[in-house]
């Protein structure tokens, strides 16, 4: 990451706190997220991780402190306004429209963006359809368009959740324990997808699975007892290489020596939904 990004982070919280009665769930958190990074927050259960991201995403209002996105104070924004300004949250417990088809689920996320950009309602359904199909393809479930979301297997529900996050075209995508309850192969698929996404957005990840954290995160923030214990834990040199990362189908490069958790363009395998074996190694070695 360059110096400019470090000086002007995408998201900056200052002294962010949340109290529930006498309980301090989040206390004096200063968090900087740089544009384009993948940041993981780890910590024991009850450390305040989910509360922290709930504050960021507007599901909860902070007791004190401030949140800035692109130097703009968004502390007091409602949840829907925070989403509109680019912070999108995917739920820890899948929260889908489980009686509606996958198409409708994604279309809901897609059509709002269209509304905002063009400012004129109504958008043509054909336009929405193109985008919904593109996104379902991106997460690797194009054939599930007409399936009722509640009938999907759990792993696919998580993917749909991410698809809805994507469709809201976020600047900052918050993933709350995305791999919880997934099978190993699904986790691999997921890791690849997240990496692919990180080219176009900043990702904040709460995760208990350390393999996933080490595989994906460029920096790790440790939380305990409502506070941040360690904010900078660089694992490696960062994502300096691999310019062709986002282009699907460019094949897999050999892993450079010495960068054990480097995220090279294994993502190239992802769009067809079949993770490569090299990718699997990355996640679980």
Our CB check for another protein shows the closer of 73 and 115 to be 115
Q: Which of 35, 47, 62, 89 binds another protein (CB under 8 A)?
A: 89
For residues 129-168, which are near another protein according to CB under 8 A? 146, 148, 164, 168
Shortest separation between residue 61's beta carbon and another protein, angstroms: 12
Measure the CA–CA gap between 69 and 16, rounded to whole angstroms: 14
Our CB check for another protein shows the closer of 91 and 190 to be 91
Q: Which of 70, 101, 246, 259 binds another protein (CB under 8 A)?
A: 101
In the shown chain, the binding pattern of residues 104 to 133 toward another protein, with x for contact by CB under 8 A and - for none, equals x--xxx-xx--x-----xxx-x--x-----
Interhelix angle 154-167/184-197, rounded to 10 degrees, is: 10
The count of residues interacting with another protein (CB under 8 A) is 34
Q: Which of 24, 70, 98, 211 binds another protein (CB under 8 A)?
A: 98
For residues 50-79, which are near another protein according to CB under 8 A? 57, 59, 78-79
- Name the residue with tokens 């689920």: 105
Sheet holding 64-69, edge to edge: 23-33, 11-20, 64-69, 72-73
Measure the CA–CA gap between 99 and 68, rounded to whole angstroms: 36
Measure the CA–CA gap between 2 and 10, rounded to whole angstroms: 13
Q: How many CA atoms lie within 13 A of 122 on its CB side?
A: 4
Shortest separation between residue 99's beta carbon and another protein, angstroms: 6
Measure the CA–CA gap between 226 and 166, rounded to whole angstroms: 29
Q: Which of 83, 162, 205, 220 binds another protein (CB under 8 A)?
A: 83
Check residue 235 for interaction with another protein (CB under 8 A).
no
Q: Which of 97, 211, 248, 255 binds another protein (CB under 8 A)?
A: 97
Q: Which of 15, 64, 76, 95 binds another protein (CB under 8 A)?
A: 95
Check residue 22 for interaction with another protein (CB under 8 A).
no
Our CB check for another protein shows the closer of 115 and 199 to be 115
Measure the CA–CA gap between 62 and 55, rounded to whole angstroms: 6
99-107, 194-202, 210-218, 254-262 -> range binding another protein (CB under 8 A) = 99-107
Our CB check for another protein shows the closer of 125 and 272 to be 125
- Interface residues toward another protein, by CB under 8 A: 57, 59, 78-81, 83-84, 88-89, 91, 95-101, 104, 107-109, 111-112, 115, 121-123, 125, 128, 146, 148, 164, 168
């Amino acid at each position: 990451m360059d110096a400019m990004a470090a000086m002007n982070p995408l998201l900056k919280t200052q002294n962010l706190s949340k109290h529930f009665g006498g309980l301090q769930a989040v206390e004096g958190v200063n968090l900087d997220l740089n544009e384009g990074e993948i940041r993981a927050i780890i910590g024991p259960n009850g450390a305040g991780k989910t509360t922290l991201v709930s504050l960021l995403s507007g599901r909860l209002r902070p007791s004190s402190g401030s949140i800035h996105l692109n130097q703009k104070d968004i502390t007091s924004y409602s949840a829907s306004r925070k989403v509109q300004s680019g912070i999108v949250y995917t739920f820890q417990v899948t929260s889908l429209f489980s009686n509606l088809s996958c198409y409708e689920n994604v279309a809901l996320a897609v059509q709002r963006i269209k509304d905002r950009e063009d400012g004129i309602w109504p958008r043509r359904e054909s336009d929405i359809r193109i985008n919904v199909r593109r996104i379902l393809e991106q997460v690797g479930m194009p054939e599930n368009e007409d399936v009722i979301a509640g009938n999907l297997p759990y792993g696919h529900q998580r993917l749909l959740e991410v698809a809805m996050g994507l469709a809201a075209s976020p600047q900052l995508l918050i993933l709350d324990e995305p791999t919880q309850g997934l099978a190993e192969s699904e986790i691999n698929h997921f890791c690849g997808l997240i990496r692919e996404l990180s080219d176009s957005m900043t990702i904040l990840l709460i995760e208990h699975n350390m393999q996933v954290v080490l595989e994906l995160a460029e920096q790790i923030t440790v939380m305990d007892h409502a506070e941040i214990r360690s904010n900078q834990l660089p694992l490696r040199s960062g994502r300096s290489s691999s310019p062709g990362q986002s282009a699907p189908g460019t094949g897999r490069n050999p892993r450079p020596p010495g960068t054990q958790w480097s995220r090279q363009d294994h993502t190239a395998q992802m769009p067809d939904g079949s993770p490569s074996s090299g990718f699997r190694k990355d996640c679980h070695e």
